[in-house]
Structures are given as C-alpha cells and as structure tokens.
Amino acid sequence: MRRLLLALPFALLPLAIAHAADEHDHDHDHEHGSLGAHEHGVGRLNAALDGQTLELELESPAMNLVGFEHVASTEADKTKVAAARAQLEKPLVLFSLPAAAGCKVVSQELESPLFGDKPQADDHDDDEADKGGHEHHHDHSEIHAHYQFNCTAPGALKTLDLANIFNTFPATQKIQVQLISASGQQGTEVTAKAASLKF
C-alpha cells in the first residue's frame, strides 16, 4: 500500500520527506532536526496518483490539528481530539476530491499517541532513554493519516485542493507537498491563500 509513497524521497527534490517504515528512525529524525523536522504550523502531504489509485499521506504536528500535543486528559481536550479524528475520517471532504473522479476510499489509517495508539517496540526503548534525562521525545506528538482511494475517472483529478484542510485546521499555516502523477513529479509548499496544485 505504501509502495508509491515510499518512492517519493528518491524521486523528488530534496524537499521530499520519507515516511520511514521504521518509526524509531522517523521519530529520531524529528528529534535531531533533520529533513522531516517537526515544526508547528507546518504539515506534510505525500500524494501519488498511479492509474486509478490515489494515495494521500498527511503528517502534522498535533498542535496544528487539536491545539496541543499532550495526551488528552480533560473532557475539553478529549472533545477536540474526537472532533479532529472525525474530520480526518472524511477524506473525500477534507481533500475536496471532485465527485466526477469517482473516488472511493479503499483504506484509511489514522495514527497518533493522542488517539491512544500504543507505542511501537522501538518507542519503548526511547521511553527508557527519556528517564535518563531526554525529556523532549514526548513533546512532539504528531498525527499521521494515510488514505488510499480507487478513482474510476482519474482524469477528472485536475487539481489537489487543500483549502478544506486549512479551513478545518486553521493552526495549519502551510503544507509541504510531494506529488507524483502521470504529468510528473513536484515538490511544493501550499498555504491557505494558495491552497491548490495541479496533478
């Protein structure tokens, strides 16, 4: 399922961000400010259109989507997390995919410590290290959403409009996008004022 998206870092400009299969390395990169550094207000979107298959992978600091990064303990925080998750569970609306493209969700996967996801085995090792004085690991919660669509008329996908993401999650200031489609490859940055790009 992630074959197309994993090809992005090798195919695109240095702006490309790998979603590593090994979550430890992914988090480790965030901690040390490398290419995929965690930055409030900035989200990342990998998009690949191959034939009738469209894959979208959105990664964002939790701060952009819910306004905080700690595990929700109050009812107000739990309500914000539930509301953000509900929005993320409607990708056809969130990404404004045109009805003419006939896109149907084949699979979707939402991951975040805020959703109660259990840490990976490698994360447990980091927890042990945190007890040794490295407190920064849990200060950067992210939300990852991966979607796969089957589009019966992919030719109708002329643009990818991210305006609804900015409208739904106003703390998101910009999104770094890496896109592969039949017309080529591109890496660009979109903002609320210029929220769409061509496939």
Ordered DSSP codes for 52-101: TEEEEEEEEEHHHHHS--SPP-SHHHHHHHHHHHHHHT-HHHHTT--GGG
Q: How far apart are CA 127 and CA 99, in angstroms?
A: 45
Residue 118 near residue 71 (C-beta atoms within 8 A): no
Cα-to-chain-centroid distance, residue 118: 19
* Spans of the chain below 70 pLDDT: 1-38, 118-139
Domain that holds residue 26: 3-198
Total count of domains within the chain: 1
User: With pLDDT > 70 as the criterion, what percentage of the chain qualifies?
Assistant: 70
Q: How many CB atoms lie within 10 A of CB 30?
A: 19
pLDDT for res 111: 96
Q: Report the C-alpha gap between 36 and 29 in whole angstroms.
A: 7
Q: Which tens digit of pLDDT belongs to each residue from 8-66?
A: 444 443 333 333 333 333 333 333 333 455 688 999 999 999 999 999 999 999 999 99
pTM: 0.73
Helix (H) or strand (E) run with residue 48 in it: strand 42-50
Instruction: Give pLDDT, residue 118.
Output: 59
Q: Can you tell me the distance from the alpha carbon of 161 to that of 6, in angstroms, rounded to the nearest whole number?
A: 22
Contacts (Cβ under 8 Å, ≥6 apart) of 11: 180, 185
* pLDDT value of residue 190: 96
